[in-house]
Amino acid sequence: MTCATCGTPHNPDKCNGHAKSTGKQCTAWPIKGGRVCIKHGGKAGQVRAAAEKRIQEAEAVKAVVTFGLSREVDPRDALLEEVHRTAGAVAWLHEQVQALRTEDVVWGVTEEVTKDAGEFPGVDTTRAAKVNVWVELWQRERLHLVKVCKEAIGSGLEERRVRLAEQQGAMLAGVIKAILGDLDLTPEQQTTAARVVPFRLRSVASGAAA
Ligand SMILES: [Zn+2]
Ligand SMILES: [Zn+2]
């Protein structure tokens, strides 16, 4: 694009101002996130505020890409939605972990060997320290939640709004748990619910955005 002032195209990486001596585009670097250097207004409050906003927006877009979120909505809305559904999944998984017997949290059967010969026939069971799948999922989601919250706040969203989305997500998981409790499910149905609910919680926002 040819500049209307100097008649030549500008280098998008350099300051958008014009050098007084040549009348051509300024050769200085613009301030971070801005389009002009400090000599060409980069020190002004509103210019710096706009630059800061641009940096935050870029952060939000980067986070959305990193987390594989929907790019159809505003990146900050996408991050808030991710906070909401991740908080829901974390709360749900926490319930599953709390319901585990202590020995099931870290110990699992890794090998069963049937012996029909020898002095003591029977089944030899090997139990090894292996983190339970619910604990693993819960830890993974918690880590993800911390990351998403950090990115959301880093992209300029108010911490209050991020925490609210987190609380609402957790509340949703609580409501589902209460409903399932009222339904008097069989053990098989409970197992299915434990598996299906976090999946559904995760798809709430992506379904709405699609
Ligand atoms: Zn120009
Ligand atoms: Zn300049």
Most confident of 11-20, 101-110, 131-140, 167-176: 11-20
H helices then E strands: how many in the chain?
A: 6, 2
Query: What distance in angstroms lies between residue 37's CA and the mean position of ligand 1's atoms?
Result: 14
Distance 3 CA to ligand 1 centre (A): 4
Closest-lying ligand to the alpha carbon of 2?
A: 1
Are 95 and 192 part of one and the same domain?
yes
In a shared domain, residues 149 and 171: yes
| In a domain? residue 121 | no
What's the domain range around 99?
A: 70-105+132-209
pLDDT tens, residue by residue, 160-197: 999 999 999 898 888 888 888 888 888 888 878 877 88
Task: Return left, alpha or beta for 48; rule: phi > 0 is left, psi -120 to 50 is alpha, else beta.
Answer: alpha
**Exposed/middle/buried for 57, CB within 10 Å: 0-12, 13-18, 19+?**
middle
Predicted local confidence at residue 151, as pLDDT: 92
Q: Domain for residue 9, yes or no?
A: no
Position 109 scores a pLDDT of 54
Cα–ligand 1 centroid distance for 43 (angstroms): 20
pLDDT at 138 over 90: no
Q: What is the pLDDT of residue 105?
A: 62
For ligand 2, the distance from its centroid to the CA atom of residue 24, given in whole angstroms, is 10
Note whether 59 and 136 are same-domain residues.
no
| Class of residue 81 by CB neighbours under 10 A (exposed 0-12, middle 13-18, buried 19+) | buried
Give the closest ligand to the alpha carbon of residue 26.
2
Higher pLDDT, 148 or 52: 148
Assess whether 36 and 48 both reside in one domain: yes
Cα of 26 from ligand 1 centre, angstroms: 8
Ligand 1 geometric centre to CA of 19 (Å): 9
Q: What is the pLDDT of residues 38-66, one digit of tens each?
A: 999 999 988 888 888 888 878 777 777 77
Name the band, by pLDDT with cuts 50, 70 and 90, for residue 107. low
- What mean pLDDT, rounded, does the chain reach? 82
Q: What is the pTM of this model?
A: 0.62
Task: Report if residue 4 sits inside a domain.
Answer: no
Same domain, 83 and 176: yes
Identify the pLDDT of residue 160: 94
* Centroid of ligand 1 to alpha carbon of 52 (angstroms): 24
